[in-house]
Structure formats: structure tokens, C-alpha cells
Amino acid sequence: MEKNMLKKYSIYLVILITGMALGYIFSDSKQDNAIKEDIVVANKEVNWSCSMHPQINAKEKGSCPLCGMDLTIASQKDGELEAHQFKMTKNALALANVETTIIGLGNLNSNTILLSGEITTNEKTNAIQTTLFDGRIEKLVVNYVGQYVKKGQLVGYIYSPELYAAQDKLLTSVTYKDTHKKLYNAARNTLGLWKMTDEQIDAMIASGTPMMRFPIYADVSGTVTEIIAAEGNWYKQGDSLYKVANLYTVWAVFDAYENQLPFLKIGQNITITSNAFKGEELKSKIAFIEPVLNVNSRTVAVRVTLNNKKQHFKPGMFLQGKINIPQDGNKILTTPKSTVLWTGKRSIVYVKPNPKESVFEMREVILGNVLGDSYIVLDGLIPGDEVVTNGAFTIDAAAQLQGKKSMMSNSLSQSNVRGLNDESGKLVFNANLQSELPNVISTYIELKDFLVATDSNKSMGKAKELMSILLRVNESVLDKETKQCIVAVRTISEKISKTMDIKEQRKQFKGLSKNMVAIAEKLSKLDQPIYVQYCPMADNNKGATWLSFSDEVFNPYYGDKMLHCGSVTKTIQ
């Protein structure tokens, strides 16, 4: 029994010693980690973050405000990234099957534009049958849509007290027509003005009784498209009874968006298809492009006139139009459709800024027309950008988990830039840029004024001055997007400063203004309002913007040729 007791206590002693040893090891390891942590903090300024909430970024050690976990030193490699960039592991990329491609400029060669539209009546052949005098509709012979009416056909009967009185007056004048011929002729002509035929008048005189129900005859031929009148109702002279259209020709009306208009012109070939005639294609030409934009749909009507003698096309039928765009030597930037994620009004892509690292960032892009399997890129990307073509949703999910800018965040979220945003999301520049900013804006607007005055020599000088001001800006404190705009303004200013050609200066001024507008829209605490103005006719009807201190329009793209062409589209305050 003593042996068993001794064995039992021996086991307890071994467990106790083992526990003390492990405690010492872990305590020593924790102490070593704390020492290492202190060494890192002492030797270099570090950021503290939460492993569960990477968006938390603090200068001092503490607890996560979201989950209460102890903050740890952020990875030094991650610290070298831009605030809106994030990194993914190779395993994560492999599991998501992420693929990228480098985009570039290409020829606009044999691409197509697809337009949706519908058949409408040819408004040139539309007509309305009206009443010639006040009266009550006693009967309508034409009483349903689709009924074909020939000119001169009986379409209904009307009772008119006015017409009845005129007939009675004529019957009275018949008794003294030999002695008062002028009065008789006047009474007869009155009925003729109301389109009573001589045969009807003679028949009425022969009967000696006025007509109670006067027949209505069709003025034009066509197919009834709308019934307006109803039996028993009272109508005044000129009121509409029904509408007709000649459907031997119809219109195919397509909706074209603003960014498609530069590719369209009158006389251009268009191939028309319809679900009603699958497999059949109709070749035609654009007959008319509406000059006014629909402000609600942001589209312009493009019209094609179609021969419809066989009555194949019915008003209201949906159509699809395909227009081939021939090669014209222009280079355009496109991105595959698979790169784009749509979120409400925004469209975004994910870019890999460094081909050697698995680092990504989100970009908002402005897209143009669909060309085959790609979109035309109007803004947001440049040739040489490497974009994610497969796995973009997985990349976006990773961005959300790491608290980075994603499709779920606002376009001007605070993760966009490194400490340069105020509470409204607008940029608050450092002292260096804040001191130079008034000079940048005022010098740009002086350059605009010289273009308005068509003074190429002074425009060159102001462009050179603008370039020199921007050279003094410290770009290291700017976020990537603003830095790109500043560099673009400086580059374009240099181009303007090297040419006396006013047309070339105005051409370059469009790109300059585009970047200046982007900068101005991010500003806060302005001393005076800045007006964004737009001319739809600039750059061969592609449109262009500019900034002004005045809400009165003075066009820098045309000068005195079209001095006040344009309008204020936005006020920045």
C-alpha cells in the first residue's frame, strides 16, 4: 500500500514540475515578444492594427474598439501599401482562379454598336379626322383601331342645330330665289362650306325638309390608330374624331446613348432584326438623328424609314439595330466586359499596380459604348494597366474583409486617401498645396480667358506659368488619383506652352480642364464658388467642360464664334 501511495505522489510531482517548466517557457517567450515589440517600437514608428479588423489603424498600442482584442504591430510590408491597396496570398489567388490582362490602345476596327428600338407610325403620313361644325355624334361607322378607311368613305353621322338652321334658311330663300338671287346663293354657299355636296343640297330642297343627321365623310385614307370620339357626345368645330396613319411606310426608332453618338451619322448602314422574324435581316440606312437629347433617358432618337407594303411591321414591335463601325485609324482604350463590376450608377474594376506582387486596388471607371466583348474606357484607366478579368468578385470580397475601398463603399470613402479627407469626404490639402492652390485655379482660369479671347501668345505664357506653379507642389502627400490629375495638368500645360496654334491649344485644353474639374470637385473650404460649364458642340460635338469663377458662359473652345455656347452644369462651393 505504501508503494502505491509513493507511486501516486511521484506522478503528482512530475505533473507539477512539467507545468512549472511550461509556464516558465511561455512566460519567457511572451516576455521575449514584448521585448522584441518594444525594440521595434523604439527603433521605428509603427502602426497598430487589429487582426480581425484590419481597417483599424492606431499610432499607439491598445485594444480594438470593435472587438476588444489587443492591437498588434501592422505588417511592415502592408504599411508600404497605399491606404486603398491590399494584398492577397498566393493560395487565395489560386483558389479564386484570379486572372489578369494588360489593356492597351487598339484600332477601332469592324466593331459593332447594338441599338434597341421599336416600330412607330410614320408621322409624315399621320392624319386626324375632325368635325366641321358643332354637333352631337349620332353614329360612328369607324369605331375600332386597325380599321382601314378610304378617303370619301362614310365614317358617321352628326346632328347639328347650326347646320339644321342653315338648311331651313336655304329652304326659306328658295321661295324668293328669283327676286332675291343673292340671298339664295349666299344661303346655298354656306352649306357648301360645310361640305354638303350639290346632290345633297338638291335632294334636301326637293324633299322640303332639312336633314336631321348629317353624314361625315373621311378626308384621308389610312389605318385607324386611335379612336377619340364616342357616340352621343357633343363636339365643337375642329375636335378630333379619330387618327389614321398610312402604314405603307413606318419608322424604326432606336435609342442611342450619348457616348454612342460620335459613331453615328445620317446615311449610315444599319442591319435590323426582330424576334418576329428570326433569322431575317433587313438592310437600311439611318434617315434622321434627333438633335435634342432626352434629359430623362439620356438618349437620342435615331430614325430609319422602312417600306411596309407587305404589312410585316406593326407599330409597337421591338427591333434591334446593328451598326458596323469601320476602321478609321483612331486608337481607343478598351477593357474586357469581364473586368467590370456594376454597383448602381458606378462601374469599377480591380487593378494590379505591380505585376510582381499580388497587390490590388479598386478603380472607378467611366465606360463608353460596347464594342464586341469590350467596353470603351472613357476615364479611370490608362494603357498598360493590368486589370482583373476573372475572380473580380472574390477580389472585392477580400477588399471588404480588409476594410479597403470596394464596390460597397462610397466613391469618396475615407479609405481612398491617406489622411487627406475631411468628414465630408472632400480633400483638405497640406499647407504646401493649400498655399499654391489659389494660384493654380486662378492661373488656369486666366488661361481659359485668353482662349476665349483667341490670344494664342498669352495662352502659351499662362500655360507655362501654370506648369511652373505645379512643379512646386509636393506630390508625396497626395493620394494616387489626385497625384495623377496634378501630373496630367502639368504635362498638358507644357504642351500648350509649346504651340502657337490656337486650335491645338483648345484641343489640349479639354484634357487640362477634365483634370482640373476632377481636382476642384474634391476641394473643401473654397473662398468663392467655382462653376463647372459644358459645351456640347466642342471637340466635334463630343462635348467639353471647363471651370469659371463666373456663372456667365464664355466659351474657350470657340471664342467669339460661339461665345455664349454652353451652360453651367455644377457649382462647387
The per-residue pLDDT string of the chain (573 residues; one tens digit each, 9 = 90 and over) reads 555 565 555 666 556 666 665 554 444 444 444 434 443 444 445 567 665 555 566 667 777 665 666 777 654 444 466 667 888 888 878 887 888 888 887 655 556 788 889 999 888 888 888 888 889 998 998 888 889 999 889 989 988 888 888 888 888 888 777 778 888 888 888 877 777 888 888 888 888 888 888 888 888 888 898 899 899 899 998 898 999 988 888 999 999 887 778 788 899 999 999 888 877 888 999 999 999 888 877 789 999 999 988 888 888 899 989 888 765 555 678 888 888 888 766 788 999 988 888 889 888 888 876 666 788 888 888 888 899 998 888 888 888 777 777 777 654 333 333 333 333 434 444 444 555 566 788 889 889 989 988 888 888 888 888 888 877 776 655 667 777 788 888 889 888 988 889 989 999 999 899 888 888 877 665 667 888 888 888 888 788 898 988 888 889 998 887 888 888 888 887
Gyration radius from the chain CA atoms: 39
Q: What CATH number does domain 94-109+330-401 carry, 3.40.190.10, 2.40.420.20, 2.170.140.10, 3.40.630.10?
A: 2.40.420.20
313 grid coordinates: 411591321
Residue count of the chain, please give it. Answer: 573
Local structure of 91: helix, strand or coil: helix
pLDDT value, residue 425: 39
Torsion, Cα 251 252 256 261, to 10 degrees, reads -60
Residue 86 φ/ψ, nearest 5 degrees: -150, 160
- Closest by CA to 368, choosing from 393, 347, 344, is 347
Strands (E), 144-247: 148-149, 154-159, 214-217, 222-227, 234-235, 240-245
Burial letters 178-192, b for 16+ CB under 10 A, else e? eeeeeebeebbeebe
Contact between 170 and 205 under an 8 Å Cβ cutoff? The reply is: yes
Chain position carrying cell 512566460: 27
Q: Which fold has domain 249-325?
A: Elongation Factor Tu (Ef-tu); domain 3 (2.40.30)
Burial letters 346-366, b for 16+ CB under 10 A, else e? ebbbbbbeeeeeebbbbbbbe
pLDDT value, residue 302: 94
Contact between 257 and 298 under an 8 Å Cβ cutoff? The reply is: yes
pLDDT value, residue 252: 93
Contact between 49 and 83 under an 8 Å Cβ cutoff? The reply is: no
Q: Is 525 left (phi over 0), alpha (psi -120 to 50) or beta?
A: left
Chain position carrying cell 468578385: 393
Q: Which fold has domain 127-245?
A: OB fold (Dihydrolipoamide Acetyltransferase, E2P) (2.40.50)
Local structure of 376: helix, strand or coil: strand
Local structure of 568: helix, strand or coil: strand
- Closest by CA to 245, choosing from 157, 319, 164, 149, is 149
Contacts of 369 (CB under 8 A, 6+ apart): 113, 257, 259, 260, 263, 375, 376
406 grid coordinates: 470596394
